[in-house]
Amino acid sequence: MSDTAARADTTPSNRDVFNVAWPLTFKAMMVNAIVLIDAYLVSGLGEPALAAMGLAAAFGSLLVGTLMAFSTATQIRLAQAAGSGRRVALKTGFYAGLVTNLAVGASGVALVALFGGGMLERMAHTPWIAEQAKSYLYIFLMVVMFEAVAQNIGSFFNGSGRTIIPLKSFLIAIPINVTTSYLLIHGAFGLPALGVAGAAIGSVLGAATRSLYMGVSFYRETGGYLDEPGWLHGTLRRSLARHLSFSMPIAGTFVSNAVANYAATLLFAKMSVNQFAAMTLILPWVQAAGTFGIAWAQSTGIIVAQLLGNDRGSEELDAFLGRAWRMAFVAAGLVSLAYLVICLASTRIYAGLEAETTAALLSFLPVLLVLPFPKGSNAICGQTLRAGGDTLYVMNIFVAAQWLVRIPLTALFVLHLDLSVTWVFALFLVEELVKFPLFHMRLYKGEWKRGLAVE
């Protein structure tokens, strides 16, 4: 058997992608669980306490999300390194990512410590809410630093295709978070009743446990690469500079998306109460149900990066992508079906809604049935281009679609044309259709196949 035929036989299958994707799906759900758990447990203290936690969590979520963006970039570099099989490349990618995450986390913590308190005081409805929000936020900042470490180690295992290990870390950490938070919020078993601050302490202990588990798992497998001499580009400083040039566009994409979503929410608030309520209810479902499609695209990108690091040829890359793409459309169909069930069951899920709000939710259905298909295909393109090092182009597409299309049209529809929420929601589909030709034309050009590999 020729070398080409032998390597073709080892080209990853859809089962390989699924084995990477399903832990990513559950992990993505659990990442959001940190704040969701706190919100659920704090809700028993009343609306003011919940408002305080919500204000503080907005800052914490932004910091953790930024770390996730940088960790995604590290994940791609480590997938390329895993494909190459070079220990020095794995060591370099890991420590460059760790230094980056710690620097980003520390910078975010410093900025929040300096300016977060004043911003919370201006945003809070009462001084009590402001004080409670600050007590939660300043403790939650420790979560940010633990996550800086845990997410980077998670990138190592994800890039190697072993996404189950980061998932296990959440399965261990979340029960600790829930139990500790409940005990300290309400002061059970003679413990002090710390209220909102107790929820933050529970999150810190959960994050610390997760970080410890990930660290032990990493050291047992690699020994921290302490026995591996040198760095991929001669020095850690040079390697870090290359890592940052690769990572910044991915982080920029996240920041742009976060700011765009915030601007869109401010515009949604200008609609009628019922229409705004409908939009507020549907968007979390859109994100939750679409998780598997996004995880499939992300796992496809991981394997593409591994193949590029292994110097696989164009035909092998095309064969793998073709199979993965077909399954991406199956995943999109399942997401579309989930949206159908959610919309039809909305009257049961939210039994107390007014008729106008329910009608608005049902009016989203035509867009929701179509949205997963271009969105899933765009995600495959974006993750593949990133795997090949084309991170700046991917960022430019996202930024242009958000700030030149969706946000201006949202402002036009809401503030000037006074169109219904159905038309406003349809702009999420318009955004994906705008990105569609830009992504696919770039992918078909094929320059990404030369990749950055492990330069």
- Output the pLDDT for position 37: 67
Give residue 13's pLDDT: 75
Look at residue 59 and tell me whether its pLDDT is greater than 50. Answer: yes
> Does 99 score more than 90 pLDDT?
yes
- Interval 158-214: pLDDT, tens: 988 888 999 899 899 989 988 998 898 888 888 888 888 888 899 899 999 999 999
Calpha distance 433→370 (Å, rounded): 11
User: Residue 150, by phi and psi: left (phi above 0), alpha (psi -120 to 50) or beta?
Assistant: alpha
pLDDT of residue 93: 93
Distance of alpha carbon 18 from alpha carbon 3, whole angstroms: 27
Mean pLDDT of the chain: 86
Task: Compute the distance between CA of residue 215 and CA of residue 146 in angstroms, rounded to an integer.
Answer: 11
Per-residue pLDDT at 50 exceeds 60: yes
pLDDT (0 to 100) of residue 453: 47
Cβ neighbour number for residue 256 with a 10 Å cutoff: 17
pLDDT in the model for residue 32: 62
3-state secondary structure of 262: helix
pLDDT at 454 over 50: no
pLDDT value, residue 280:
74
Q: Judge contact between 204 and 187, C-beta under 8 A.
A: no
- pLDDT at 80 > cutoff 60: yes
Q: How far apart are CA 274 and CA 389, in angstroms?
A: 44
CA distance 78 to 93: 6
Residues 269, 265: Cα–Cα separation, whole Å: 6
- CA–CA dist 84, 14 (Å, integer): 21
Distance of alpha carbon 239 from alpha carbon 234, whole angstroms: 8
- Residue 436 in this model has a pLDDT that exceeds 90: yes
- Asked if the model's pLDDT at residue 4 lies above 70, the reply is no
pLDDT at 5 over 50: no
Q: φ, ψ for residue 146 (rounded to 5)?
A: -65, -40
Q: Could you report the per-residue pLDDT of 250-287, keeping only the tens digit for each?
A: 888 888 888 888 888 788 878 887 888 788 778 877 87
pLDDT tens track for 21-33:
777 777 777 766 5
CA 118 to CA 113: how far, in whole Å?
10
Quick one: pLDDT at residue 451?
Answer: 59
| pLDDT band at 452; cut points 50, 70, 90 | low
- For the stretch 15-21, contacts whose Cβ atoms lie closer than 8 Å and that sit 24 or more positions apart, written own/partner, are 16/161, 16/303, 17/296, 17/299, 17/300, 17/303, 17/324, 17/327, 18/296, 18/299, 18/327, 19/161, 20/158, 20/161, 20/163, 20/299, 20/302, 20/303, 21/163, 21/292, 21/295, 21/296, 21/298, 21/299
Q: Are 368 and 336 in contact (CB under 8 A)?
A: yes
pLDDT, tens digit, 9 for 90 and up, residues 361-378: 889 999 999 999 999 999
